[in-house]
């Protein structure tokens, strides 16, 4: 094989353009969003930011074992949807699911304790960071092998359809998921069955360590696939909670009206690497810097000030959240490692794990 032939189709990293963020669209401050919802989104972003920072610190102290995938920098997506969704809606996330679990209202202490592998964890220490679930809060799971949960979200939406409720299911996933088969099966299936489901691609520009545009046939990994399934192409600024809230509300209303699924691509950026093991050095420095300047939280802080929310209110929220994170950390640290009595429980509905008589 000639070198030329061998190189055909291979990635040319030198040709990859740096992906800089779009400017903030100031018109989003004009969107008809109640101020209470905006304050709720601010508070939620504060919780997500401070929780993930604390989770990172606890890794560094070697209190969190295994791996973890943080949503630092991507909080506006979870916050926008978190506030737009109804309490009885269903959420499905990937291994990068801390934010979505918190956004559904699951308690912070047990979530933190789960990261620490403690008995008082959300999953009794059996699932860990990548599988956060809180059925009582409609958080139907974090799925660590990408793709499947889009199909599973369809099932929850089908269930709502069968039971005649107005619940919707929302599946969050990354840009990398758009290249796995289950993504395509799920979208076609949701479309033909007109399921009340919203697919939310958090496009943070990197599948794991590889830029998504080097491994995807179209520039917008989710939005450019939408037409294949009879869906609108929707791209939103994933670093602007108002913009996310707006498209989320529209998609959820469409789902509840029986008009079927939506696919939303929210463009955003990780502040850190893919997972605990990854410092993210493969990203150009100017790109990282530009996106750090487009941090969703300071931007939103400024917007709320401009909209007349007093600084003292925002400062109070920050401080209150800091207290909640402190409490959650203490709760987690106070938990014991799970005892042996938990090892063989809950494989089956009868609470046990017996496979023979």
46 versus 101: smaller Cβ distance to another protein: 101
* Count of residues in contact with another protein, rule CB under 8 A: 53
Contact of 54 with 329, CB cutoff 8 Å? yes
Q: Which of 16, 25, 30, 145 binds another protein (CB under 8 A)?
A: 145
Among 107, 155, 280, 284, binds another protein (CB under 8 A): 155
Q: Is 339 in the site for another protein (CB under 8 A)?
A: no
d(CA 238, CA 308): 23
- For position 348 contacting another protein by CB under 8 A, the verdict is yes
Least distance in Å: CB of 232 to another protein? 21
C-beta of 186 vs 222, nearer to another protein: 186
> Is 110:335 a contact under the CB 8 Å cutoff?
no
Are 234 and 262 spatial neighbours (Cβ–Cβ below 8 Å)?
yes
Residue 89 near residue 170, CB atoms below 8 Å = yes
- Within 103-132, which residues bind another protein (CB under 8 A)? 121-127, 131
Question: Counting contacts by CB under 8 A, is residue 101 touching another protein?
Answer: no
Q: Which two tokens stand for residue 184?
A: 């395509």
Name which of residues 256 to 295 contact another protein (CB under 8 A): none
Q: At its nearest, how many Å lie between another protein and the CB of residue 115?
A: 14
- Please state, in angstroms and as integers, the Cα–Cα distance from residue 284 to each residue in 163, 255, 280, 290, 328, following that order: 50, 39, 10, 10, 35
- In our burial notation (b when 16+ CB lie closer than 10 A, e otherwise), range 150-188 reads bbbbbbbbbebbeeeeebbbbbbbbbbbbbbebbbebbe
Rounded least distance, CB 282 to another protein, Å: 28
Interacting residues with another protein (CB under 8 A):
90, 121-127, 131, 133-136, 140-141, 143, 145, 147-160, 162-163, 169, 181-182, 185-186, 188-189, 192-193, 345-349, 351, 353-357
């Amino acid at each position: 094989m000639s070198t030329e032939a061998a190189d055909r189709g291979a990635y040319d990293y030198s040709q990859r353009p740096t992906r800089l963020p779009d400017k903030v669209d100031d018109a989003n401050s004009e969107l008809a969003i109640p101020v209470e919802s905006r304050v709720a989104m601010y508070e939620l972003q504060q919780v997500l930011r401070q929780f993930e920072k604390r989770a990172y610190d606890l890794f560094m102290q070697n209190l969190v074992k295994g791996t973890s995938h943080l949503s630092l920098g991507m909080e506006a997506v979870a916050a926008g949807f978190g506030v737009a969704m109804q309490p009885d809606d269903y959420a499905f996330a990937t291994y990068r699911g801390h934010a979505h679990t918190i956004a559904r209202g699951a308690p912070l202490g047990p979530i933190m304790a789960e990261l620490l592998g403690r008995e008082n964890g959300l999953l009794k220490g059996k699932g860990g960071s990548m599988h956060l679930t809180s059925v009582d809060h409609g958080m139907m799971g974090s799925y660590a092998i990408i793709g499947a949960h889009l199909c599973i979200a369809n099932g929850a939406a089908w269930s709502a359809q069968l039971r005649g409720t107005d619940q919707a299911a929302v599946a969050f996933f990354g840009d990398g998921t758009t290249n796995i088969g289950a993504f395509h099966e799920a979208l076609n299936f949701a479309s033909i069955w007109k399921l009340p489901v919203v697919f939310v691609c958090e496009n943070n520009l990197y599948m794991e360590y590889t830029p998504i545009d080097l491994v995807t046939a179209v520039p917008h990994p989710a939005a450019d696939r939408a037409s294949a399934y009879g869906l609108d192409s929707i791209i939103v600024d994933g670093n602007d909670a108002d913009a996310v809230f707006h498209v989320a509300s529209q998609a959820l209303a469409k789902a509840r009206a029986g008009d079927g699924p939506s696919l939303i691509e929210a463009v955003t950026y990780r502040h850190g690497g893919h997972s605990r093991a990854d410092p993210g050095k493969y990203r150009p420095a100017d790109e990282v810097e530009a996106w750090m300047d487009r941090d969703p939280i300071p931007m939103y802080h400024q917007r709320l000030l401009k909209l007349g929310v007093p600084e003292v209110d925002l400062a109070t929220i920050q401080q209150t959240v800091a207290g909640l994170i402190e409490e959650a950390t203490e709760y987690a640290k106070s938990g014991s490692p799970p005892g042996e009595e938990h090892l063989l429980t809950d494989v089956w509905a009868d609470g046990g794990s017996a496979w023979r008589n």
